[in-house]
């Protein structure tokens, strides 16, 4: 591959967390620089880890706490408030003693969640209500519930209106917001409002808004506000590893990283 060129330009941030021949191998044999997209990704994600503006609010969602323990711990050393929603929030609420009934809860991560909450104190913000369903289905019966009163056999699939308002109060004061992971099962229309409401709110703030790739990028696009975000990352896994503070092989191999 290196024999085919004189300079290697890497513009594939979405695969920069992988040590492949096409991401870091070829950079050992040619002058290696970042492309414009790579430069933009590193500039905006760098704002979340290197001397960020304050108040700095991070939002983490998605299904599993275990997938994001490292990023939670890293962001807590930098942000002023960490908002947790989605299935992840269920595990934290279970760690507080809530009975989430049939909601997704990672039993193996409850102790870890307790330790994180003890360390974070009031800087960690959890939902106070949710939209519960009687089954995991777009056509399921649903109702807004307090999270300590989930009906037997039901499951929480989205944050509720009081949670949206609570999170909104913090977000409207932020100068920097980094978001990775949806607030609920936004693929099902009845359980998308929490995610879309936060997306619409961020579109109206004056904050620098950095959206992780993957589901987060998909969510702001479905909400119709992607163009109002400061930066929407093209790399889900890469952006998450960057926020964890890990060195990305495809970035480390470049002579010009910004």
Q: What is the CATH classification number for the domain harbouring 124?
A: 3.40.50.1260
In a domain, 119, yes or no: yes
pLDDT at residue 244, as a whole number? 87
The count of structural domains within the chain is 1
At 100, phi and psi to the nearest 5?
-90, 10
Domain coverage including residue 197: 37-245
Residues of the chain with pLDDT under 70: 256-258
In a domain, 31, yes or no: no
> Is 127 in a helix, a strand, or coil?
coil
In a domain, 101, yes or no: yes
In a domain, 185, yes or no: yes
First-last CA distance in the chain: 24
Q: pLDDT (tens digit, 9 = 90+) per residue, 207-227?
A: 999 999 789 999 999 999 999
In a domain, 56, yes or no: yes
In a domain, 15, yes or no: no
Q: Are 131 and 159 in contact (CB under 8 A)?
A: yes
pLDDT at residue 258, as a whole number? 45
pLDDT at residue 48, as a whole number? 87
In a domain, 212, yes or no: yes
Which among 11, 42, 159 is positioned nearest to 92, based on CA atoms?
159
């Amino acid at each position: 591959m290196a024999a085919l060129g004189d300079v290697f330009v890497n513009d594939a941030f979405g695969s920069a967390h992988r040590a492949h021949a096409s991401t870091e191998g070829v950079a050992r044999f040619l002058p290696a620089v970042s492309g414009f997209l790579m430069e933009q990704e590193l500039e905006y994600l760098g704002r979340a880890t290197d001397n960020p503006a304050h108040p700095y609010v991070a939002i983490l969602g998605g299904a599993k706490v275990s997938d994001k323990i490292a990023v939670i711990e890293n962001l807590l050393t930098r942000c002023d408030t960490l908002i947790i929603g989605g299935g992840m929030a269920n595990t934290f609420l279970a760690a507080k003693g809530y009975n989430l009934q049939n909601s997704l809860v990672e039993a193996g991560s409850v102790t870890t969640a307790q330790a994180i909450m003890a360390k974070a104190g009031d800087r960690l913000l959890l939902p106070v209500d949710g939209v519960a369903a009687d089954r995991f289905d777009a056509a399921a019966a649903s109702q807004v519930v307090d999270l300590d009163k989930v009906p037997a056999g039901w499951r929480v699939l989205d944050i509720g209106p009081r949670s949206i308002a609570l999170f909104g109060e913090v977000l409207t004061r932020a100068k920097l917001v980094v978001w990775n992971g949806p607030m609920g099962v936004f693929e099902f229309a009845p359980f998308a409002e929490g995610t879309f409401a936060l997306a619409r709110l961020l579109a109206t703030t004056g904050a620098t808004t950095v959206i992780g790739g993957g589901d987060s990028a998909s969510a702001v696009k479905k909400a119709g506000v992607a163009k109002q975000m400061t930066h929407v990352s093209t790399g889900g896994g890469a952006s998450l590893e960057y926020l964890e503070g890990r060195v990305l092989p495809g970035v480390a191999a470049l002579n010009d990283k910004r």
